[in-house]
Structures are given as structure tokens and as C-alpha cells.
Amino acid sequence: MVDTVGQVNLRKENVSSLVKGFAQAAYKLKQLCMIDSSSAWIESYFREGSSELIGGTGSTVRGIPRLAAFPYGEVNWTKVSSYIEKYGMEGVVSWEDENTNNIPALARTLLRIGNAVAYSVDVVIEASILANAGNSVAIAAGNEWDSATLANRDPIRDILYAIKECAIDNIDVLQNGYLVLSPLDYANLMMNTKVVNNPTFKGADVVANGVVGQICGLTIIVSNAVQVSGAYVVKGKEALTWKEAQPLTVVTIEDPGIKKTVRAFELGVCQVPMPNAICKITNTQKV
């Protein structure tokens, strides 16, 4: 069917594109994930144990006597299953509000719907990072990033230790690695002269999707979905997978002369196949 200017099909496509555009700009943590399509309601994967094989009780890897049997080592895997979840939001704008309101009601509704879906997904991804982080660096009391003693604030050291913890597990977070912060931790980070004067620090030329700069070889992402008093170093596209049964979809339901309903939704679940590619930095703020 050929459409002319002003016909319903063209207006619907314009509205749908706007919502998707707003949502894509609002996703901050989803960019950490490898996106993998799914056609199942339950998604399972096997997570390999991270402990080094030691040969069992009384039988070590080192110092095997002549003619002695070799110690036995066995790799273990844990099956992890998760259910696909639906995320969505819809808004209704009356015909009168769309055409005569002093406030751009339709544009504001589109923006808030896109933000709501993106934020909800990011909150779940952050919860998965927090629950499954395989490494951690604890900042001692008095050395927090907002410590009353300026000399004790050393976020560069803490970030480097987090990078080191991942490296011990043979995970190079300097390749596509991220430092994920709450807005408050980002403020404390940027107020530290050790950071802003560090040769590795670089502000983003254009702030987009929460990316605000780089430090110690890591891309800095700031998101309200991140809990306060904690930061994460994450290996992008490897630590996390977003199993996507339905990508972000937008439909416009128009009731001419009465209202316009805009509905956005997606189906997916966050998985953490590589927990040791995440290091949580704890106690970044005074409690």
C-alpha cells in the first residue's frame, strides 16, 4: 500500500522510531552485555568453577614421586537457569493534549516511556552484576573516595587493584573494559586530583549512553541503576549476556479524534557466564 504524507501508517512509524531512539539513548548498562537471541522461556547455561585444581587431599600437583600415580583433577560446572521476563510501558495521550496542549504531551510521553523500559532493564543488569561478581576489592575504613582525610583518597589504586584481580583470573579488562559508577561515586572520583591529573584520564568528547570518559584504560559509565557505595570493573561483552527473546518493540494504537496509545516492550533476561570478569569495589563512600 502506498502512503501519502500525513497518513496513519507514516505517523505510527515516526512515533515508534522516536520511542526506540529515546530508549536506545537511555540504556547504559545493557551495552556491557553480549546480545544473544533466544526462542525459549527458560534459558540455561553452565558456569565453570573458578577454583584452581589442586589434586585432592594428600595428593599435590608439585613433587610427584618417581613411579607414583598422578593426582586427579576434575573441572566442575554448575547449571544456571533463568526465566525470560517481559519489560514494558505504555502511555495514552488524548487528541486534544497532542494538538492543543502548551506542553508537548506526546513528545514527553514518548521520552518517559523509552526511559522507563531502559531503566528497568539496567536495574536488573546491575542486580546481576552485584549478585554474581566473582572478584572484589574492599576499601578500608577511612580510605573511602569521600574520606574526610584527603590524602587517604586513592581511587586510582583501588581501580588498579580491581584490574589486577581480574588479571589473576586471566581476564584482560583493559580490552573492552568498563568502570561502572553511580552518579555520587562519579562526583567523588572527579573531585579527586589524583584522577583528573592522571595521564590515563580522558573526558568523553561526546557524552552518550552514560559514557563520560576513560581512566586506567577503562571506559567510565555512570548510571542511576548502580547502587551507592560501590563500583564495578566489568569486561564488556564477555562477563554478561542479554538473552533476547524479543527486542525493543513499539506499537502505536491510534483512535482518531480521541487518543493515541504508545506501547513499548521487550523480552529478555541477563545472564553472567563469566563472573570473574567482574570485580566489585566496595566501600567507596563513608557509611
Angle at 213 between CA 206 and CA 224, to 5 degrees: 90
Decide: 232 and 279 in contact? Cβ < 8 Å.
Answer: yes
d(CA 122, CA 185): 18
Q: What is the pLDDT of residue 58?
A: 53
Burial tier of 153 (Cβ tally within 10 Å: 0-12, 13-18, 19+): buried
Which set of grid coordinates corresponds to residue 195? Answer: 584522577
Dihedral sign computed on CA atoms, order 28, 32, 36, 42 = negative
Decide: 270 and 128 in contact? Cβ < 8 Å.
Answer: yes
Q: Which residue has the cell 494538538?
A: 99
The DSSP code sequence of 118-178 is HHHHHHHHHHHHHHH--EEEEPPTT-STT-SSGGG--HHHHHHHHHHHHHHTT--TTSSEE
The topology under which CATH files domain 8-49+78-282 is phage-related protein like fold (3.90.1690)
d(CA 154, CA 27): 30
Q: What is the pLDDT of residue 55?
A: 67
Q: What is the pLDDT of residue 159?
A: 98
Q: Which of 180, 218, 178 is nearest to 198 (CA)?
A: 218
Q: Which of 155, 151, 127, 129 is nearest to 276 (CA)?
A: 129
pTM of the full predicted structure?
A: 0.84
d(CA 19, CA 180): 26
Helix (H, G, I), strand (E, B) or coil at 222: strand
User: Where do the domains of the chain lie?
Assistant: 8-49+78-282
Q: What is the pLDDT of residue 23?
A: 85
Q: What is the pLDDT of residue 56?
A: 61
Residues pairing with 94 in the sheet: 259
Decide: 34 and 270 in contact? Cβ < 8 Å.
Answer: no
Q: What is the pLDDT of residue 5?
A: 40
Q: What is the pLDDT of residue 7?
A: 44
Would you tell me the crossing angle of helices 105-132 and 8-26 to the nearest 10 degrees?
40
Low-confidence ranges of the chain (pLDDT < 70): 1-13, 50, 55-59
d(CA 276, CA 170): 9
Measured CA to CA in angstroms, residue 112 lies from 14, 203, 255 at distances of: 16, 28, 21
Burial tier of 154 (Cβ tally within 10 Å: 0-12, 13-18, 19+): middle
